[in-house]
Structure 1
């Protein structure tokens, strides 16, 4: 299993950071303090905030910190150009562990500043409402309770989640196919956390089938326990997104916070 990118302590720091930005979006001092928090939380060497020039269709640097930042303050990117331009265009957060191997990366800023970028985290700050939603989900993640693991009936947990989701699934004309044997053994699990995880997966499946489809949930016995599988006939996940779907803040949905699958993971 891959190591998590952020610990809960890191995410608590991000809660404080997001609250700081949200408290005063229009002040240079707040933005500077926010970037300082980013650097401390993520051990970043440089940080910057880009702003969209809607008239010219470009991004300009509102604030930059770190080595060589004074050399790039007048540089601009076209929307769609570079990592920041791609994030502005798609409105999707992006974690890029090796920018020089990513075709979206523009070396122009490194060439001008003399700094070599080794990794990038780029997040769109589209609106106050979306930021508040993201902060709320991060806070919920950082205070997850210790699992209350006891022998439970997984089939009953699945049925309860399906019952709660039935109305939303029916509105989209999604047919649910349930395949759960009646004589399953009880297994150690946390009903609340497994239910939340399954709920997130069902929500994602529903959103991927705006014109209807099929959602199949199957539980099968295995030597070490039970396997719960969920399949749908939705639009699927782009191959280039697959490595990042469990990363914090990564979302393929324009209004997503990127925390749902992180909590599932």
Structure 2
């Protein structure tokens, strides 16, 4: 018998938006992971594998990529958050935390705001590789031509090199990458109170997209305890620091 009552809220059928690569039905914590711009749920396979069985990891699959490539992309953070609330509200049968990287951090933050307004606060919010919503940069990479967009993706090392080397795959991936860049670069949070959950910001020490001050500014977005964790690496420090990041996540969840 599991430690939690089995209900429709802890369903095996995850739907189009949610992936559960390594189900951990007895885990005391659930972690929902939100990918970066151009990313997919599979980016969090290592999280699911390494955190199970102590943490039940869900990963979000945005439309317009992989098995959802024929669906229209959503090109705003607010639109993604609005669509995700009904997909995730059934998973709050135990303490839930969010982990978002880059654009995914903004999406996670907006989804967290919506759940807190419903009276369902998070156990903790992890925001990675993303400046705080109160720090704004005038970025318009999404308006560049295909070559310019690809150049930025390569510079950040945010997409599998095999995708960039295969013209057919690249043609399929570019619309979702552009939509995600638009979502990230045009995101401006609506006025509202800060969150009340604990918040941990994680960043690379050589990230061209996020300064340490911009990461530290996340402290203003929750009245709960705040921590800043800095790792060696650039915007995708996460790929080279997975064990250290997961050690931090596990410690904060406890």
TM-score (norm 2): 0.23
- Structure with the higher strand share, 1 or 2: 1
Structure number with greater CO (CA < 8 Å, separation at least 6) is 2
